[in-house]
Amino acid sequence: MSDAAQPTAAEVRAAAEAVKAALDRHLEAVENRTGDDDPAVYAAFNELAAAAEAYDERLYDRYDEVTPFEIPGVEDSLPPYAGPAEPNALSVLIRRDYAVAEPQRLLAQAQRIADLDRGEDSPEPVPMVGRSVHAALGMLFGEFEPDEIASRHKEFGLEEGDSTLWVAAADDLPEPGEWLSTPFDQADPGRVICRFDVSAVFDEDDLDGDLADGPPDMP
């Protein structure tokens, strides 16, 4: 990189001051959090991550030095919020992935649901449910709310994958049925107020960090 393209010492110093300010805001948000999923804490985390990344880049460009900080998810973070300051409506977008880990358990549970729904007065069986994973999934998700399936997924022979929840601002509540044919096409990352992700990769990162610290002291 040429000298002309390098940040000045003052710009590096300003980036360092921005990190300090972001740290203070993050601590304040944590101290005043209203729950485990407080949007203010999430927003402060993102601001701290962005400030730390900017400082790291300027420090490297100017002095060929790096920081010891590594904040997960910085590269995949959402763009800066560009929605209304006071949203009139919001959309909650949820994605949960599952693997069909035990098809026979899924089929058995779906058949049990079908038999209960049929009732004792109806002798007609529902054989398709007990043989078709496709039909079994339709029966399962038609009977239970998504949150209940998430909490009981092992009971239904499912294995959890990644999941995410986005809370996005909207100008107005859409007309009934307006987006039902394409429910996810209008998701705008720039309007996401907050998001909450669950992934095994976070646990793996924690495990890698524990291993890097060495084994725990033995009593």
200 vs 52 pLDDT, higher one: 52
What pTM does this model have? Answer: 0.56
Residue range 28-39: mean pLDDT, rounded: 86
Phi, psi of 100 (to 5 degrees): -80, 90
So where are the chain's domains? 3-63, 79-97+162-176+184-219, 102-156
Q: Which of 173, 172, 181, 146 is nearest to 160 (CA)?
A: 146
41, with CB counted inside 10 A (0-12, 13-18, 19+), is buried
Distance CA 90, CA 168 (A): 5
If phi > 0 it is left, if psi is from -120 to 50 it is alpha, else beta; for residue 197 that is beta
pLDDT in tens, 137-184: 999 999 999 999 999 999 999 999 999 999 999 888 989 999 999 988
Kind of pairing between the strands at 89-100 and 158-170: antiparallel
The owner of tokens 């996810």 is 184
Query: If you search the block for the tokens 């990352």, which residue do you land on?
Result: 189
CA distances for 161 relative to 57, 97, 98, 137, 151, angstroms:
33, 5, 5, 16, 13
Question: For residue 190, what pLDDT band results from cuts at 50, 70 and 90?
Answer: confident
| DSSP summary character for residue 85 | S
CA angle 149, 151, 153 (to 5 degrees): 55
Which residues neighbour 109 within 8 Å (Cβ) at sequence distance 6 or greater? 136, 140, 155, 156, 157
At 45, the pLDDT band (50, 70, 90 cuts) reads: confident
- What's residue 41's pLDDT? 87
Q: What is the pLDDT of residue 218?
A: 39
Residue 39 in contact with residue 193, Cβ under 8 Å?
A: yes
Dump pLDDT digits (tens) for 71-127.
555 445 567 788 888 889 999 999 999 999 999 999 999 888 888 877 655 556 555
CA end-to-end distance (rounded Å), the chain: 52
Chain-wide mean pLDDT for the chain? 82
Region 26-42: what's the mean pLDDT? 86
Closest CA to 55 of 23, 79, 27: 23
Average pLDDT in the 182-195 region? 86
Contact by Cβ (8 Å): 100, 106: yes
Instruction: Say how far apart CA 10 and CA 176 lie, in whole Å.
Output: 54
